[in-house]
Structure 1
């Protein structure tokens, strides 16, 4: 009898993890967590590859889940399926918009300028406050206007 109880407990634990993964509130931010990731037209390796991403850290918005696959949207609006194993919950952001984006010492337009960032620069996202977000671009840390970052704020 005790061995049956252990077996039942093991089965509950085994099947609870995938079910819990499906209970995530959508949408949410994620980032590409590998040097190369395939975006497919369907949720499975049997589907054709739509895009090959070679940009680790690129933020994506997860909008649907299906058995180990995530339907994501990227900054330009492209959507497709990426294996969940290729994604991280690490928050990143990409600079968007026209022209250079100022990275400031503090979250204020009057704060000292640290660097100017070109559109397309990706960094690790820190805290956001009063319309500004802390961004770490290869250990260069400063504050960027939230409106210039895709991947910041609510998804």
Structure 2
């Protein structure tokens, strides 16, 4: 083979190799572009961290706790409202308003009768009896001594706060007695030389949930 023919053959091979490299490079570039992630909202949302949802705390296994309601107190004495008192003497005028200029609506005539104080104003206390009747009475006519009134006739008084215990006496409806100790369901009363226990539902002058030592 002559020198000119050899040179022509080498040039043809170089051109062919260059063409193959160029085609291969272009194809590879096109493939890399097609594999590149496009800047689209879908691609962006895949890389966004999901928002954490609040996890509800498990309920405690212990018993439910109910907070006691704050007790209302009188603006004058700062004692609980309502509260129970008793008539100090044998007569107590109960007026329509908290002053001597107001007319008398009721006159209580049973010494020691239990009364419920529902309001205060100066030297006056608004009270009511077991029937819900009452009005304003001067504070000097009432006492902090606790008494109750028997609501049912011929109620049995027991030796202990137990219906199966011995009966110590009988009490008539309307009888006024001194209040002693109280459990959640029973109270001890004393009057006219007799004492004993009876259910709270048989008397007026003590709160249903009140306990006393």
Q: TM-score range by the shorter chain?
A: 0.7 to 0.9
User: Which residue is 1:107 aligned to?
Assistant: 161
Native 8 Å contact 2:106 2:134 kept in 1: no
- Say yes or no: does 1:82 pair with 2:134: no
User: Which residue is 2:204 aligned to?
Assistant: 150
Q: Secondary structure at the match of 2:78?
A: coil
More helix by share: 2
Shift of 1:79: 2.5
Q: 2:82 aligns with which of 27, 32, 40?
A: 27
The CA RMSD over aligned residues, in Å, is: 1.8
The two structures have a TM-score, normalised by structure 2, of 0.60
Q: Secondary structure at the match of 1:47?
A: coil
Shift of 1:130: 4.1
Q: Displaced runs of 4+ in structure 1, greater than 3 A? A: 19-22
Kindly name which structure, 1 or 2, has the bigger radius of gyration based on alpha carbons.
2
Match runs of 1:13-92 below 5 Å: 21-92=76-147
- 1:1-30 CA-partner distances (Å, limit 9, x unpaired): xxxxxxxxxxxxxxxxxx984322211110
Q: Secondary structure at the match of 1:55?
A: coil
Q: How many residues align?
A: 136
More strand by share: 1
The two structures have a TM-score, normalised by structure 1, of 0.81
